[in-house]
């Protein structure tokens, strides 16, 4: 069964989320604080890790969702992370995406939107976790992509990527020199039914540049196509 961790300090919201995820056939473990959620996450690593973590950004006492996101991502590059946020927490959303969150859902949200967003992240996580029968190695300049292990190296040095970052970089490398608009990147990585906006693409590109570029402020590989999107170049 699909396993998800839910961290939300407001009882009514947490119960609403848990009920709807259970109806969608998720095995749900819930916590009302960041500390409890982190403990549950770490315990799961020795048994059956979570596929997805759904974390509230704002918790009035103790560890907040931003710190929890950071700690979980440090310990796992494969778990899908979705943040719950209020509309006023725009900078916190960006901070979480920069720390490795895969998506965010803005309150208030409908049950159908919540489940759709969780399902999308789960599908991506489960696809990445599955063994690839047809091994293929992609080469582009100093980069080498192993499509079986979902790893990428630069000059034979492994680049530590989340699964979303890996998918974006693989998509670029398969389309060298092609100008890709934000919508096509969003559809390729997050799916056609993604509820959010294309801002999530820009944040992930910024994060990728920090990991792969010699000078992220003057990117040589992920180049901006002004007013359109991005393209991959190795010359």
> Mean pLDDT of successive 10-residue segments in the chain (235 residues)?
93 94 96 95 92 91 90 91 81 83 89 90 76 68 86 91 89 93 89 76 93 94 93 86
CA dihedral 10, 198, 142, 151 (to 10 degrees): 40
The structural domains of the chain, ordered by start, are 2-129 (3.40.50.2300), 137-232 (1.10.10.10)
What is the DSSP code (8-state) at residue 132? P
Q: At how many degrees (to 10) do helices 182-190 and 163-173 cross?
A: 130
pLDDT digits (tens, 9 = 90+) for 33-91: 999 999 999 999 988 999 999 999 988 788 999 999 999 999 998 899 999 988 666 77
Report phi then psi at 217, rounded to 5. Answer: -75, -15
Residue 103: strand, helix, or coil: strand
Q: Are 109 and 56 in contact (CB under 8 A)?
A: no
Q: How far apart are CA 2 and CA 27, in angstroms?
A: 6
């Amino acid at each position: 069964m699909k396993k998800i961790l839910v961290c939300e300090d407001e009882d009514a919201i947490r119960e609403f989320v848990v009920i709807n995820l259970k109806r969608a056939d998720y095995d749900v473990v819930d916590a009302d604080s960041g500390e409890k959620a982190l403990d549950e996450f770490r315990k799961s690593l020795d048994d059956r890790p979570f596929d997805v973590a759904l974390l509230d950004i704002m918790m009035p006492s103790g560890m907040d969702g931003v710190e929890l996101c950071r700690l979980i991502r440090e310990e796992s590059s494969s778990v899908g992370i979705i943040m719950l946020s209020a509309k006023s927490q725009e900078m916190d959303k960006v901070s979480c995406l920069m720390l490795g969150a895969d998506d965010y859902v803005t309150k208030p949200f409908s049950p159908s939107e919540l489940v759709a967003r969780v399902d999308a992240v789960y599908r991506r996580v489960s696809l990445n976790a599955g063994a690839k029968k047809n091994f293929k190695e992609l080469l582009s300049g100093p980069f080498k992509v192993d499509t079986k292990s979902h790893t990428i190296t630069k000059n034979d040095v492994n680049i530590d990527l989340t699964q979303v970052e890996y998918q974006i970089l693989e998509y670029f490398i398969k389309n060298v020199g092609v100008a890709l608009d934000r919508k096509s990147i969003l559809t390729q990585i997050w799916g056609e039914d993604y509820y959010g906006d294309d801002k999530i693409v820009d944040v992930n590109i910024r994060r990728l540049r920090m990991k792969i570029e010699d000078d992220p402020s003057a990117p040589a590989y992920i180049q901006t196509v002004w007013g359109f999107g991005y393209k991959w170049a190795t010359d």
